[in-house]
């Protein structure tokens, strides 16, 4: 194997690591929601703009892959650089808050607690997206659909909280 192909193989593995790591958070979130999504959630009053249930899994799967790709692009800028490490730290924080929301809203069956967590998630995500744009525009661009979806999810969460 040449040095170039070894380097390419390493980059592919790192990229897959970022993507699969994000998808693993999605699986954890799915585990936290599985019981409540079939028992408790259907009993709640929901806002008129609630999407069909089947839409959530494919959207989140795509968004987690895009998040992982964005983090990989930022990592490629230079993981030895302080701004990159800081941006990836914020990325980790927002990813943890992403998982925490599922446990708060569905696991604890608490739209109010979910609203608090999603507000913190949105703030950390907006900051992360800004940092990613500053380091690599494509990485920031990959985060925008996720920021939009979390904004939408926050409105849904607030609607459920208000209606129940």
Tens digit of pLDDT for each residue in 96-152?
Answer: 999 999 999 999 999 999 999 999 999 999 999 999 999 999 999 999 999 999 999
**Gap between the Cα atoms of 145 and 157, Å rounded:** 18
- pLDDT classification of 3: cutoffs 50, 70, 90: confident
3-7 average pLDDT score: 74
This prediction's pTM: 0.93
Over the stretch 16-37, which tens digit does the pLDDT of each residue have? Answer: 999 999 999 999 999 989 889 8
- Asked if residue 67 lies in contact with residue 25, where contact means CB atoms within 8 angstroms, the answer is no
- Quick count: other Cβ atoms within 10 Å of Cβ 107? 19
pLDDT at residue 126, rounded to an integer? 98
Over the stretch 44-88, which tens digit does the pLDDT of each residue have? Answer: 999 999 999 999 999 999 999 999 999 999 999 998 999 999 999
pLDDT at residue 144, rounded to an integer? 98
pLDDT at residue 7, rounded to an integer? 84
Reading phi first (left if > 0) and then psi (alpha if -120 to 50, else beta), residue 138 is in alpha
Query: Between the CA of residue 29 and those of 62, 92, 145, what are the distances in Å?
Result: 15, 15, 19
Q: Sketch out the chain's domains with CATH numbers.
A: 3-163 (1.20.1260.100)
Q: What secondary structure does DSSP assign to 2-17, as a single string?
A: -HHHHHHHHHHHHHHH
pLDDT at residue 1, rounded to an integer? 59
- Asked if residue 155 lies in contact with residue 111, where contact means CB atoms within 8 angstroms, the answer is no
- Could you tell me the end-to-end alpha-carbon distance of the chain, in angstroms, rounded to an integer? 61
pLDDT at residue 67, rounded to an integer? 98
């Amino acid at each position: 194997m040449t040095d170039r192909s070894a380097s390419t193989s390493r980059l592919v593995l790192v990229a897959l690591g970022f993507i699969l790591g994000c998808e693993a958070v999605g699986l954890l979130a799915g585990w936290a929601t599985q019981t409540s999504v079939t028992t408790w959630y259907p009993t709640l009053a929901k806002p008129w703009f609630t999407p069909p249930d089947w839409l959530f899994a494919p959207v989140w799967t795509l968004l987690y892959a895009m998040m992982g790709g964005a983090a990989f692009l930022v990592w490629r800028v230079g993981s030895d650089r302080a701004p990159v490490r800081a941006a990836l730290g914020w990325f980790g924080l927002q990813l943890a808050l992403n998982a925490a929301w599922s446990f708060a809203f569905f696991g604890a069956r608490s739209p109010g607690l979910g609203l608090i967590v999603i507000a913190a998630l949105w703030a950390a995500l907006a900051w992360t997206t800004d940092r990613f744009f500053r380091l690599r525009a494509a990485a920031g661009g990959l985060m925008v659909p996720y920021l939009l979806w979390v904004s939408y999810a926050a409105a849904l969460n607030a609607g459920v909280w208000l209606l129940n």
